[in-house]
Amino acid sequence: MTLPPSTSPRTNSNERWKFVRDVVIFQLKMLLGNVRDFALMPVSLAAALIDLVSRGEREGALFYKVLRWGAHSEDVIDVYSAIEHHEPGDFKISPAYTVDGVIARIEGVVVREVEKGGTAASIKTAMDRAIDQLHAETGGARDKARDAVARTAGKLREKFDSDGRGKD
């Protein structure tokens, strides 16, 4: 079965091959980053153990050196470089909802409860309240993401059905 030539302005051959190149390079960079992360796990733990048992110039010097190397390698790999020449997206993340922000909020709850002399049960209750509050605050974003996935799936289904490739 041959496909008819497309008259879409989007089918510029150079753009298509740049896109394919970007996909392949992104996948390779993700693989490289994951290999790096997999290696960093035991190396960082070993560095931390060495720092705990031997006295260095400062507390955790070797561990933080490993972290600096990891951060540098992150910049060298630059996984998301393919979007540098595209217009920025609508994604604006509040620092309160980054991984560090969420950890800081939960850590703050635990520290306050411990300082008050709280029990394990009161700490658990306080953490549950904090997590429930995070869920309530991020509900809108979660709903938007769910709607975007549903719209995309619907468009893919329509495309699949209209092309006739999904029918027996």
**The pTM is what?**
0.60
Residue that has been written with the tokens 């950890």 in this structure: 103
Burial class (CB in 10 A: 0-12, 13-18, 19+), 149: exposed
Question: Does one domain contain both 120 and 49?
Answer: no
What's residue 2's pLDDT? 57
Question: What is the CB neighbour count within 10 angstroms for residue 109?
Answer: 20
pLDDT at 166: 53
Residue ending a domain, among 87, 103, 133, is 87
Total domains in the chain come to 2
Q: Are residues 112 and 126 in the same domain?
A: yes
Residue 138, C-beta contacts closer than 8 angstroms, at least 6 positions apart: 97
For residue 28, the enclosing domain spans 10-87
Per-residue pLDDT of 51-107, as tens digits, reads 999 887 789 999 999 999 999 999 999 998 888 877 777 667 777 777 888 888 888
Q: Do 80 and 99 have their domain in common? A: no
Query: Could you tell me which residues come within 8 angstroms of residue 130 by beta carbon, excluding any fewer than 6 positions away?
Result: 105, 106, 109
Burial of 60 (0-12, 13-18, 19+ CB in 10 A): middle
| CB distance 33 to 14 below 8 Å | no
CA 19 to chain centre: 22
